Amino acid sequence: MLLVKTKVLQSKIHGLGLFADEFIPKGTITWRFDPQIDLYFEPEEVAKMTELKRSLIEHFAYLSQQTGKYVYSVDNTRFTNHSAHPNINNTKVLEGDREVCGEAKRDIAVGEELTIDYRLVDANDEKSKEAYLN
* CATH number of residue 20's parent domain: 2.170.270.10
| 1 within a domain of the structure (yes/no) | no
Three-state SS at 99: coil
Candidates 29, 10, 25, 14; CA nearest to 83 is 14
| 34 within a domain of the structure (yes/no) | yes
State the DSSP code for 50: -
Residue 29: give the domain boundaries.
6-133
Domain count, the chain: 1
pTM summary value: 0.92
* Rounded CA separation 3/30 (Å): 5
| 37 within a domain of the structure (yes/no) | yes
Candidates 17, 10, 5; CA nearest to 78 is 17
For the stretch 51-107, pLDDT in tens is: 999 999 999 999 999 999 999 999 999 999 999 999 999 988 999 899 999 999 999
Beta-sheet pairing, 81-82 with 115-116: parallel
